Amino acid sequence: MLFSSITFLYYFLPLVLLFYFIVPEKLKNSVLLFSSLIFYGWGEPKYIVWMVLSIVVHYILGILIEKHAGTKKAELWLVISIIFSIGLLGYFKYTDFFISNINKVTGLSLPMLSIALPVGISFYTFQILSYTIDVYRGHAKAQKNFVSLATYVALFPQLIAGPIVRYVDIASALEHRTHSFAKWHAGLRRFLFGLGKKVLIANSLGEISEIFKSTNQNTVLFYWMYAVAFTLQIYFDFSGYSDMAIGLGKLFGFDFQENFNYPYISRSITEFWRRWHISLGTWFRDYLYIPLGGNRVKKSRWLFNILVVWMLTGLWHGAAWNFIVWGLMFALLLINEKLWLGKAINRLPNIFSHLYVLLFVGIGFVIFDAASMGEAIKRIASMFGMGKIKLADIQSIYYLRSYGLLLIIAAVGCTPLPKRCVARIRKIPHMDHVLAVLEPILCVILLLTATAYLVDASFNPFLYFRF
């Protein structure tokens, strides 16, 4: 089920909230778990089995790891947990990728298995792993209550597209959490702003990508427009989803970690990755990069660690070479910043350091969105006028005119400028009261307008669902 669907907004969510708040405290997790399974099963009923199996296995493994803490047995149970989780993810997500590569390298023609990817498996696998690893490290206690652990893994606000919530961050909230008007207000506001970002901005920008991909005769202008639109779309799509997830979390009394912090205002790639998909970046840092030795090893090993982490970051996003290249491109840019040009980039005037980040991030997302590396190279080459294509034509100019304002709104909207403007206005005498009146009205306008778009919708999938 999508957050941005009529079914979720007007059937599922009101009913879940109703049941959640009428049942006694001790049944609230059960309501959340049951509704989360419906939420997950709504799209793909058969994959509930795999998720429930995963929860059962890790419930037992968590207890066993804690029981044998400090012994070799705990290590063994952790290894089993990792093999089981990564094995399941690997089977569903990477089997055909490896078969096709084996076929290419060896000339064999092993048949593809055409396995459908269960929605959100990459996210809940990492959440489960964070649980067992943290129990092994002694950072968290094993959860004895099955419903509580299952609620953590299946919790519908963050189940299928993050943020990747760590068990330790919500362990106490799973046992006891507070609900208040302040939290509901913040939750509603956050959810509706996220809904607006997704439905009004990201989906509309997505139309540019769709039109671009459906046209054979593209121009340099259209290639750039596509690159800019997709770069903005993926931000508004993913951060909008995260906003909705965080907002929903607040409605149910949880506080999830922030996942985005205006990544496109970064002045270096290092800074960009501190601001983009924060929960994934910190997961890889804490559960892979640091265990590999981080930067406290000799330089060659350190570089190896960076390359491994970023290759796997790319691979996590998708089972295709363009994702691996995308990850490795960032690895090389980060190594460059750490070893050679980092200080020089910091000394650059802001405009140039921003352009440097946006250029490589934009090119990165062109690679990310391509169906193959060949297509990615063709698109990047075409952006720079290679391939005998026209600079512009009536079609690309039309779409620039048609989507120009939306692109400007999106470009401004992904910076802290609107937030700063509101903060300034708030300082003007009495404006705080005016904003307090206007804000809920704006929220309702967002709800109604997003509903209008959904009622008339044709383009709606979340980009990050395929991961």
- Residues that bind another protein in the complex, under the rule CB under 8 A: 1, 5-7, 9-11, 14, 42-46, 180-182, 184-185, 188-189, 192, 200, 204, 215-217, 394-395, 397-399, 401-406, 409, 433, 436, 439-440, 443-444, 447-449, 451-458
Q: Looking at beta carbons only, is 200 or 357 nearer to another protein?
A: 200
**Which of 141, 433 has the CB closer to another protein?**
433
Residue 181 Cβ vs another protein, minimum distance, rounded to whole Å: 4
Q: Kindly state the tokens that stand for 10.
A: 């007007």
Task: Report helix angle 48-67 to 121-137, nearest 10.
Answer: 10
In whole angstroms, how close is the CB of 201 to another protein at the nearest point? 9
| Shortest separation between residue 323's beta carbon and another protein, angstroms | 27
* Joined tokens for residue 139: 């950072």
- Provide the token pair at 109: 């023609």
Nearer to another protein, 14 or 87 (CB): 14
Q: Which C-beta is closer to another protein: that of 145 or that of 402?
A: 402
72 exposed, middle or buried (CB, 10 Å; 0-12, 13-18, 19+)? exposed
Q: For residues 421 and 448, which CB has a smaller minimum distance to another protein in the complex? A: 448
Catalytically annotated residue among 185, 277, 317, 433:
317
Nearest-approach distance from CB 211 to another protein, in angstroms: 10
Q: Which is nearer to another protein, 10 or 146 (CB)?
A: 10
Burial 332-361 (b: 16+ CB within 10 A, else e): ebbbebeeeebeebeeeeeeebbebbbebb
Query: Minimum distance between the CB of residue 451 and another protein, rounded to whole angstroms?
Result: 6
CB of 42 to another protein, least distance (A): 5
Residue 58 known to be catalytic:
no
Other CB atoms within a 10 A radius of the CB of residue 289 amount to 22
Smallest distance from the beta carbon of 454 to another protein, in angstroms? Answer: 7
Q: How many CB atoms lie within 10 A of CB 395?
A: 15
> Which tokens belong to 186?
């913040």
Shorter beta-carbon distance to another protein: residue 374 or 440: 440
Which residues have a catalytic role annotated? 317
